[in-house]
Structure 1
Amino acid sequence: MALQTGYQFETFEAITDNYLELEHCIKSIIEKEKYVSYNVKTKVFTPDGGGSYLGILCKVDIEGETTTDKKETNIFMKIITPGAQMTILSLPDVYKNEMFVYKELSLIYSKLQNEVEIPMQEKYKFVKSYEESNANVIILENMSKKDFKTNFRKDVITLQYAEMAIAEMAKFHALSFILETKQPKYFERKIKTIKATFSFDEDWDGFVQNMCQITLNYLDEDSRRKLEDFIPSFTKKYRKYSEGSSGKLCLRHGDFRPNNILVKEINGVVSEMIPIDYQLVCYGCPALDVIFFIFSSTDQKFRRSHMLYLKELYYESLKRFLKYFSLDVSSIYPKTEFERDLKSMMDYGLMTAILMMPLLMASDNDVDITREPLAGLSLNVDDLLKDRLVGIVQDFIEWGYFIAQVQAADKISDRGS
């Protein structure tokens, strides 16, 4: 019995002025999938792992029949936020970047891996994307229908999860190095031109001050003074790192954390991973992805037990994947250079934690950073936030990171007295 043909696009019309464009995308997919009868259901949702800060998320389920059998197509759509007022980040640019990764770069990376016959379980994988994706909407296969999910944004990851995630990250960076070697002209034209999309304006400065104050409120007097001495260099350093002006460079993910990694589990153990969300990809130092991942998804106890191991694992994973292409990691990214990048830019972990952790630990899932000035953003933060932020600040104090800054501040104070 054929399903009734029809649309339920009220949800699209309610959330965006571009609903006619979304209708057209769905109709195009229906035609390509050769449905002769169908029913379309749409639903806006917030993922279990936490909210989406740069778009509206929507599930679209198409059920119907072709000329030969019954069929179901399950789609995930990320729709650019209508009327966004955001200034520190260009939403059109981040959607353009993600569209490029899914519609063009994923095909190139898949071809490179197929040419050297990498085993399926070792390949770096992308979620299936639809050609209808454009500058306003990213359209992908809904992988939740295949039992994939993302971790809850507040959870500390397990070691097994970290091992698999670090290996996937290394593959992504390796493919950038491989592309640069195999297709240098294309790399020069299409990859090196992908810059970080942050705008370091007055709203950014206010956002930094706002987020720093949250951390300062949790600290004892001595720790507070040490962090206060660091804050004046915050924007300058963050901008330097974001713009890729130091260290080894490749295409990096930019937002590699559990919210942006799909996982499938068997009896509670992760069996497969697929990284997603390429909106913040940029040409920059791969060590920054390592640092960001560790500080955004672990607590102090985890770092003390496993941080050194994970750094070694990243480099060994990079080495192993490059071997498939007969490339020597020591000539691509010497270990001494990798270790130097990690050490010299480790405070990126402190800065990103201060900026991102309050958002990740917010009590409500519907934080909207696109509609109000970030300098005045108000958050209902979770009780877990204090432990995570205090632990990170303590790490940097124990590593001696603030010593030189505190000594300089003391000299200024002595001269003043």
Structure 2
Amino acid sequence: MSCFESCRSELNLHATHIDGNISPTVEKSIIRIVQKEGFLDYKVDIRDISTDGGNYLANLQEIEVKGKTKSGEKEIDLFIKNKLQTESCPIPIDEAYEREAFFYNELAEIYNELQEKANVPVEERLEIAKSYKESNSDATILENLAKKGYKTWSRFEPISQQFAEISIKELAKFHALSFALQRKRPEYFESKIKTIKHLMELSSEWENYLGDVCAATASFLENEGYEKGLKVKFFSKIIENYKLLVNPPDTLSTCLCHGDFRPNNIMILEENGEIKKVIPVDYQIINYGCPVTDLIYFVFMGSDKNLRRDHLEDFKDLYYETFENFLAHFNVRAKDVYSRERFEKEYRYRIDNGLCSFLMASPFLFGTDDDIPELNNGLSKVKINFKNPACKERIRGVVDDFIQWGYL
């Protein structure tokens, strides 16, 4: 008897049709969701999703459940992120899925309760994808936002000012909720948040990969007419910055950070060409750290030189103003927990994280269809090239900025 058959027998449910392959763990979760949603009989359709280079730790699926309840016909649409099955990934995948399950199954509910209790207007609350509380160390199970018209930004295109501003507001709310949680539930914060260290370490595998990225980037730029010796400058900057990123001093760690707040991890809802709403996703690399690292990471993962030149200072102002105003809902003064002066100081101290993060991620951000990196083969197999014209332009822009700012 299959898992679906045994579970349906126990719950007195009847599925008329099942298409596709899913893991036993996900099967059991779907059965529990079906029960909670009140289905009497139902049909399950499953479709594999191509990530097109947008996800490296998962196999993605859409699951559609249609059927009857006591109230009539009903449909629910699920998004399943199945854990990549490999022993060669340089990122601890089990821990990554456990962190995301913690966020969606536990922390998201606490954040929603905090916002409800503080009477934060619904339209101002942090947007969090609906979870069915079935995420676990093998899979993340959420509402399928694509069925509601949400999509992701193209990883090849620089972000727009509007997208940047809306996303930065959500990031500021995410950080502010961490500070609010610390004030409202200090014991929980101490035991559950401050203990979430950075997921990655500086292993020899990562150091070799960073060296390869630095060498490839320097070679490309020197052929473009940049000064010689960039490889040495890049490597010293990136190794130092990466160490600080994964193991920051206690004085820099103040709140829960997203860890991977890039455009491709933000779902977008548009109406008549205007962005109406965004929902951040992918909380697998959450960690207790320095909030400016999330902001810098987002800006350099998505923006081009022109957007940074015209609006970088505006983005900083927008972030802090949103942070300050959102904390006020919880009767917490921003200057008491994370002052503007501290924010500016840490921003200046950590700005070169933008260079480090961008160069590290460039093979993944801009990999073409025939050479998209696969982490299940380990970092040594990642192809590093800059055939994509968008990649070349963005690298020039980032490096030009850091030369102009005196970091290179």
Q: TM-score, normalised by structure 2?
A: 0.92
Q: Which of 377, 386, 392 pairs up with 1:372?
A: 377
Q: CA deviation at 1:287?
A: 0.4
Contact 2:248-2:289 within 8 A present in 1 as well:
yes
SS in 1 for 2:16: coil
Task: Kindly provide the amino acid, as one letter, of the partner of residue 265 in structure 2.
Answer: N
Give distance in 2, aligned partners of 1:303 and 1:163. 12
CA deviation vs aligned residue, 1:110-163 (integer Å, no higher than 9, x gap): 000001111111000211111222110010000111111111111111111111
Give distance in 2, aligned partners of 1:223 and 1:348. 22
Q: Determine the structure 2 residue equivalent to 1:218.
A: 220
Cα distance change on mapping 1:340 and 1:29 into 2, 3 Å: same
Contact 1:251-1:282 within 8 A present in 2 as well:
yes
Give distance in 2, aligned partners of 1:244 and 1:182. 25
1:83 aligns with 2:94: no
Give distance in 2, aligned partners of 1:241 and 1:379. 22
- Give the alignment of 1:7-22 within 5 angstroms: 7-9=18-20, 11-12=21-22, 19-22=23-26
Give distance in 1, aligned partners of 2:377 and 2:328. 48
Q: Which of 132, 135, 140 pairs up with 2:134?
A: 132
Range with bigger deviation, 302-311 or 38-47: 38-47
1:387 aligns with 2:393: yes
Runs of 4+ in 1 over 4 A off after TM superposition: none
SS in 1 for 2:398: helix
Q: Determine the structure 2 residue equivalent to 1:274.
A: 279
Task: Kindly provide the amino acid, as one letter, of the partner of residue 353 in structure 2.
Answer: Y
1:45 aligns with 2:56: no
SS in 2 for 1:73: strand
Give distance in 2, aligned partners of 1:224 and 1:111. 55
Q: Determine the structure 1 residue equivalent to 2:192.
A: 190
- Give the alignment of 1:291-306 within 5 angstroms: 291-306=296-311
Q: Determine the structure 2 residue equivalent to 1:70.
A: 73
Q: CA deviation at 1:199?
A: 2.7
- Give the alignment of 1:225-374 within 5 angstroms: 225-245=229-249, 246-364=251-369, 367-374=372-379
Give distance in 2, aligned partners of 1:26 and 1:219. 51
Q: CA deviation at 1:278?
A: 0.4
Contact 2:54-2:264 within 8 A present in 1 as well:
no
Task: Kindly provide the amino acid, as one letter, of the partner of residue 52 in structure 1.
Answer: N
Q: Determine the structure 1 residue equivalent to 2:9.
A: none
Structure 1: stretches of 5+ with no match in the other structure: 13-18, 403-417
Contact 1:210-1:375 within 8 A present in 2 as well:
no
Contact 2:214-2:234 within 8 A present in 1 as well:
no
Contact 2:157-2:390 within 8 A present in 1 as well:
no
Q: TM-score, normalised by structure 1?
A: 0.90
Give distance in 1, aligned partners of 2:374 and 2:240. 22
The percentage of counterpart residues that share the same residue type is: 36
SS in 2 for 1:5: strand
Structure 2: stretches of 5+ with no match in the other structure: 1-13
CA deviation vs aligned residue, 1:320-364 (integer Å, no higher than 9, x gap): 101111211111111111111011111100000001122111112
Q: CA deviation at 1:224?
A: 4.4
Contact 2:193-2:288 within 8 A present in 1 as well:
yes
Contact 1:124-1:168 within 8 A present in 2 as well:
yes
Cα distance change on mapping 1:226 and 1:367 into 2, 3 Å: closer
1:399 aligns with 2:401: no
Give distance in 2, aligned partners of 1:163 and 1:335. 19
SS in 2 for 1:132: coil
Give distance in 1, aligned partners of 2:121 and 2:155. 31
Contact 1:43-1:58 within 8 A present in 2 as well:
yes
- Give the alignment of 1:198-217 within 5 angstroms: 198-217=200-219
CA deviation vs aligned residue, 1:2-36 (integer Å, no higher than 9, x gap): x9712224x33xxxxxx222221222222222222
CA deviation vs aligned residue, 1:250-292 (integer Å, no higher than 9, x gap): 1011111111111111111111111111011100000001100
Contact 2:198-2:288 within 8 A present in 1 as well:
yes
Q: Which of 55, 60, 74 pairs up with 1:57?
A: 60
Give distance in 1, aligned partners of 2:158 and 2:241. 27
Task: Kindly provide the amino acid, as one letter, of the partner of residue 21 in structure 1.
Answer: T
Task: Kindly provide the amino acid, as one letter, of the partner of residue 320 in structure 1.
Answer: N
Contact 1:205-1:375 within 8 A present in 2 as well:
no
Task: Kindly provide the amino acid, as one letter, of the partner of residue 120 in structure 1.
Answer: V
Q: Which of 181, 192, 198 pairs up with 1:179?
A: 181
SS in 2 for 1:390: helix
SS in 2 for 1:24: helix
Cα distance change on mapping 1:227 and 1:368 into 2, 3 Å: closer
Give distance in 2, aligned partners of 1:232 and 1:71. 58
Task: Kindly provide the amino acid, as one letter, of the partner of residue 347 in structure 2.
Answer: L
Task: Kindly provide the amino acid, as one letter, of the partner of residue 214 in structure 2.
Answer: C
SS in 2 for 1:200: coil
